[in-house]
Amino acid sequence: MFELLDQHQVNELHVRYDVSSGLRAFIAIHNTALGPALGGCRFIKYPSESHALQDALNLAKGMSYKAALAELPQGGGKSVIMVPDRHFDRRSLFSEFGRFVESLNGRYITAIDSGTSAREMDIIQTVTSHVTSTSDAGNPSSYTAAGVFEGIKASVNFKLGTESLKGLRIAIQGIGNVGYELGLLLAESGAEIVVADINRERVESALREFASHAVSPEQIVQEPCVVFAPCGLSNVINESSLERLSCRIIAGSANVQLAKPELGQRLHEKGILYAPDYVINSGGLIYASLTHSESLRSDFELVSRNEVLQARIHEKILQIGRTLEEVYQGSSSKGRATSVVADQLAEEKLTRLQDFAA
């Protein structure tokens, strides 16, 4: 167990099992040097406990890097809840998870992720204040999509030397909340959108609103396009999919897109520009962090303060494109994978911010 934590550089692992509600949950905290760990709560079917644990550990480190590069006063953490195999009461389960979060005394702040929504965050909020993405706070998905959109523009500009997306073929894998919002933004910019998702209703809606056509989830990886945007679950770039890619750029919202770190170098050698996931998908964290800190103020609802908040969020989302440009320039000059350069940049910024905070 300790070797596994050391491998992922995770400082804390918390486990909660509650028989009555069916809760089986992990909370992994990578770092709290800059502030409380903030990260989403994932609620999906896992094949085993080890898979759920691995997911939490993999995602926690990325949240620390994401916060550091966005210069947010947060650490990195992640929680996963295994969907019970038996019948369960959703309110009971998420209330118990809220008590789990509360027991950490503010070291971890939870938010929505795959399988959770404002509905679950509202339940959690009844037992702890260490939660964001509630109905009152709003959904961070549109902000994540806005950040990915800025990242795609920066990636296209670096790779193709143009700021226009008009006529560019972009394949979106996964059109949940973020992928769908991203499709709308890209279509408004004149891009040709191809989509894939296991949810047929979402696909049909996308075809009506912004997509030119759809392909199967298995085929989307090899769909010829300029930009491949993974917006679903993790590990989409693996040994098998890497050989089938027909894109020039990978830039999407999914977390932990590389199944193995060394695949970043393989992409670099193939001439595919990869936007490191924790850089390009930080819009949701930016929104969640800033709105949570503001919600603790008694005058949060003042219109003037909300305008200032939105301006701060907008500026940090624009910074995503500039950070990617810095990563790409470093990769080009050093001849190293963008994923490696981003890791180094995040570690340097994390160390610098920790020294400043001390």
Task: Look up the CATH number of the domain holding residue 81.
Answer: 3.40.50.10860
Residues 189, 238: one domain? yes
Cα distances (Å, whole numbers) of residue 215 to 191, 226, 265: 17, 16, 28
Regarding whether 42 and 115 lie in a shared domain, the answer is yes
Question: pLDDT digit string (tens) for 229-249?
Answer: 999 988 999 999 999 999 999
Is pLDDT above 80 for 136?
yes
Q: Beta strands of the chain (E only): which ranges?
A: 12-18, 23-31, 37-44, 75-82, 108-112, 169-173, 192-196, 213-214, 227-230, 249-250, 273-274
pLDDT at 305 over 80: no
For residue 79, give every residue at least 6 positions away whose Cβ sits within 8 Å of its Cβ, in sequence order, or none.
25, 26, 27, 28, 39, 40, 41, 42, 56, 97, 101, 108, 110
User: Does residue 45 lie in a domain region?
Assistant: yes
Work out how many domains the chain is built from and give that number: 2
- Averaged confidence pLDDT in the chain: 93
Domain assignment present for residue 310? The answer is no
Are 115 and 185 members of one domain?
A: no
CATH number of the domain that residue 191 is part of: 3.40.50.720
Rounded CA-CA distance 203/348 in Å is 41
Q: Which residue among the candidates 45, 61, 66, 78 is catalytic per the annotation? A: 78
Averaged pLDDT for residues 26-36: 94
69 is a domain residue: no
Q: Give residue 222's identity as a one-letter amino acid code.
A: Q
Whether residues 103 and 217 share a domain: the answer is: no
Model pLDDT for residues 107-123, shown as the tens digit of each residue: 999 999 989 999 999 99
Residue 3 has what pLDDT? Answer: 81
Instruction: Answer yes or no: do 223 and 259 share one domain.
Output: yes
What's the pTM value of the predicted model, to 2 decimals?
A: 0.91
Active site residue 270: no
pLDDT of 308 above 90: no
- Partners of 250 in the β-ladder: 228, 274
Distance CA 220, CA 332 (A): 28
Q: Are 32 and 278 in contact (CB under 8 A)?
A: no
Same domain, 105 and 154: no
Measured CA angle at 221 (ends 215, 226), to 5 deg? 95
Please check whether residue 288 lies inside any domain of the structure. no
Please identify which residue in the block is written with the tokens 């998870």: 97
For 3, counting Cβ atoms within 10 Å of its Cβ (0-12 exposed, 13-18 middle, 19+ buried), the class is exposed
| 329 and 203 fall within a common domain | yes
Q: Which amino acid is present at 181?
A: E
Residue 290 lies in a domain: no
- Looking at the fold, whether 236 and 277 belong to one and the same domain comes out as yes
Task: Provide the residue range defining the domain that includes 26.
Answer: 2-64+76-125
Q: Are residues 90 and 227 in the same domain?
A: no
Is residue 249, in this structure, part of any structural domain at all? yes
Quickly count: other Cβ atoms within 10 Å of residue 207's Cβ.
Answer: 14
Does residue 306 form part of some domain? no
Domain co-membership, 346 together with 200: yes
169 and 96 share one domain? no
Tell me: pLDDT of 1 over 80. no
90: tokens are: 């959703």
Q: Are 39 and 153 contained in the same domain?
A: no
